[in-house]
């Protein structure tokens, strides 16, 4: 059966299943979750039930050799996936009604072991962190979503995560084996990168996230089991250290609540997820609670309404679904669903929030 037809049929059945008033909104604006399945060489497409947070599998698509990291273009038209073993990045066209994915070759070469990917908010440039070559690959994004290489830039030892602040002027990279975060300036006209500075982090930084206002940045440090907070200097992009906070063993992934008042960490070493309250004035983190996950929490994604949280468990081949309390702090495990082998990345797509890039040309 054609995957687009199957996905559309499943969506239609689900949308027609419930006529309860609360379910109408999810019928009008379906939301999807994509998982990169590293050992299965696939991407799984899930439909999110906004009433319960539950996931329904809509289908799987082939995703090259070792799909590792995911990024969605701000327009919502394209999904990009890096291939850890093929050293490439691929483009998929997204069907915003069904969530379906259509591969658009050719895949574009990266350097060795592309661990992370990020796109500027205006959709013009895409960057890939290449772990084995200690570098970033920069690409210009054309109007059809195609990628055109700009250059390769030295970063630090084993870059593992990238975050771009909301203005699109600066990119931040966690260098896993040099215990630093690199600050890059992004040229608005060319997409070229300039290394501006590096700051010390804890041991083996594995995740990095910037708040939607571009004020604060948070880094999870795996070996030291800490989270660092930084203030972003909006004039220079520099990172100003605010504090170091204890975390459960080996925090590996981070996500902010939609309100930006809470931070969640997936903790690989303790098989759980932790919730923190944030003090934006001084960068402080206050641990609120932790909740057991399945084995090997590796990625985290938060529902755009802030009501549900999803954890990819790479060792257990599962996704844990949590309900989030009204204060964004209390987590309640609702369900754990099986996945394809090696679920290593999650990304949530809300087509109703897609934006058209404001630039005149990509």
pLDDT digits (tens, 9 = 90+) for 134-153: 999 999 999 999 999 999 99
Q: Which CATH superfamily is domain 34-351 in?
A: YVTN repeat-like/Quinoprotein amine dehydrogenase (2.130.10.10)
**Taking residues 88-104, what's their average pLDDT?**
97
**How confident is the model at residue 24, as a pLDDT?**
32
Sequence-separated (6 or more) residues with CB below 8 Å from residue 317 = 338, 339, 340, 341, 342, 343
Residue 359 in this model has a pLDDT that exceeds 70: no
pLDDT of residue 280: 81
Instruction: Give the confidence band of 328 by pLDDT, cuts at 50, 70, 90.
Output: low
Residue 181 neighbours by CB distance under 10 Å = 26
Rounded mean pLDDT, 157-182:
98
Flag whether pLDDT at 154 surpasses 70: yes
Say whether pLDDT at 1 is over 70.
no
Per-residue confidence (pLDDT) for residue 357, from 0 to 100: 58
How long is the chain?
Answer: 362
| Contacts with 122 (C-beta within 8 Å, 6 or more apart), sequence order | 74, 168, 357, 358, 359
What is the per-residue pLDDT for 22? 30
Q: Is the pLDDT of residue 213 over 60?
A: yes
pLDDT digits (tens, 9 = 90+) for 249-286: 999 999 999 999 999 999 999 999 999 999 988 889 99
pLDDT more than 90, % of the chain: 86
pLDDT in tens, 10-42: 443 333 333 333 333 344 689 999 999 999 999
Mean pLDDT (the chain) is 91
- Whether residue 248 has pLDDT greater than 50: yes
CA–CA dist 218, 243 (Å, integer): 10
Residue 50 has pLDDT above 90, yes or no: yes
Domain locations in the chain as residue ranges: 34-351
Distance CA 362, CA 231 (A): 30
Residue 327, pLDDT above cutoff 50? yes
Residue that has been written with the tokens 């259509």 in this structure: 102
Take residue 121 and report the two structure tokens written for it.
């908010």
Which stretch of 163-177, 242-256, 315-329 has the lowest confidence by average pLDDT? 315-329
């Amino acid at each position: 059966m054609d995957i687009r037809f199957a996905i559309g049929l499943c969506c239609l059945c689900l949308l027609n299943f419930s006529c309860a008033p609360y379910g109408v909104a999810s019928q009008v604006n379906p939301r999807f979750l994509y998982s990169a399945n590293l050992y299965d060489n696939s991407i799984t497409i899930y439909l999110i039930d906004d009433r319960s947070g539950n996931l329904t599998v809509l289908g799987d698509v082939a995703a090259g050799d070792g799909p590792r990291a995911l990024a969605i273009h701000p327009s919502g038209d394209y999904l990009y996936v890096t291939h850890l073993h093929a050293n490439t990045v691929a483009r998929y066209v997204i069907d915003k009604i069904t969530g379906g994915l259509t591969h658009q070759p050719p895949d574009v070469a990266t350097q060795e072991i592309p661990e992370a990917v990020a796109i500027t908010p205006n959709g013009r440039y895409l960057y890939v962190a290449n772990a084995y070559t200690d570098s970033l690959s920069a690409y210009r994004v054309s109007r059809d979503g195609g990628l055109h290489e700009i250059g390769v830039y030295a970063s630090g030892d084993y870059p593992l995560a990238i975050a771009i602040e909301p203005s699109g002027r600066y990119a931040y990279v966690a260098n896993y084996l040099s215990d630093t975060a690199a600050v890059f300036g992004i040229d608005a006209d060319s997409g070229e990168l300039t290394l501006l500075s590096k700051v010390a982090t804890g041991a083996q930084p594995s995740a990095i996230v910037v708040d939607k206002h571009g004020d604060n940045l948070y880094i999870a440090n795996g070996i030291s089991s800490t989270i660092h907070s930084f203030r972003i200097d909006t004039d220079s992009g520099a990172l100003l250290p605010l504090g170091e906070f204890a975390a459960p063993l080996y925090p590996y992934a981070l996500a902010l609540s939609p309100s930006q008042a809470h931070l969640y960490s997936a903790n690989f070493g303790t098989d759980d997820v932790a919730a923190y309250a944030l003090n934006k004035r001084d960068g402080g983190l206050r641990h609120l609670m932790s909740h057991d996950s399945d084995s090997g929490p590796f990625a985290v994604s938060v529902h755009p309404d802030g009501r549900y949280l999803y954890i990819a468990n790479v060792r257990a081949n599962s996704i844990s679904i949590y309900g989030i309390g009204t204060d964004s702090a209390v987590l309640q495990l609702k369900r754990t669903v099986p996945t394809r082998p090696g679920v290593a990345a999650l990304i949530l797509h809300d087509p109703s929030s897609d934006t058209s890039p404001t630039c005149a040309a990509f």
